[in-house]
Amino acid sequence: MTASAYSTTLTVPAEGFAITAGAPVRGGLRTGASHHMHCPSCLSWVFTRADGFDWFVNVRATLLDDPSWFAPYVETWTSEMLAWAQTGAPRSYARDPEMSD
């Protein structure tokens, strides 16, 4: 997904996530703590794992078979949002929230 106002992800427990077909490749920025994994064929961004946060995986919500039930719960980095971009999420943070939040 490129050139969008949003980067929607569904955060799931790592033990509830499995790759059922294919072998994703790391794409995007290949340095740092975030590992953005892509389809090797079409290069679509599929999911992200982050060093130090092994207990969850961020799955791209746009890839759900049925995304009709998905609605944003939290938005982060609103300090960089486009003025017209609104998600309706009940929680909002200018940057990353504190872990206690």
Give me the pLDDT at residue 19, please: 92
- Domain range enclosing 90: 66-96
The one-digit pLDDT tens for each residue of the chain (101 residues) are 455 777 888 999 999 999 999 999 998 777 788 899 999 998 888 999 999 999 999 999 888 889 889 899 999 989 988 889 888 999 999 998 998 98
Look at the block and give the residue holding tokens 């994703």: 24
Q: At 31, which amino acid appears?
A: T
Q: Does residue 45 lie within any of the structural domains?
A: yes
How many separate domains does the chain show? 2
Note whether 12 and 52 are same-domain residues. yes
Note whether 20 and 36 are same-domain residues. yes
Q: Left (φ > 0), alpha (ψ -120 to 50) or beta: where does 22 sit?
A: left
pTM score, two decimals?
0.79
What is the secondary structure of 2-67 as a DSSP string? -S-S---EEEEEGGG----SS--EEES--SSSEEEEE-TTT--EEEEEETT-TTEEEEEGGG-S-G
Note whether 25 and 58 are same-domain residues. yes
Q: Does residue 2 lie within any of the structural domains?
A: no
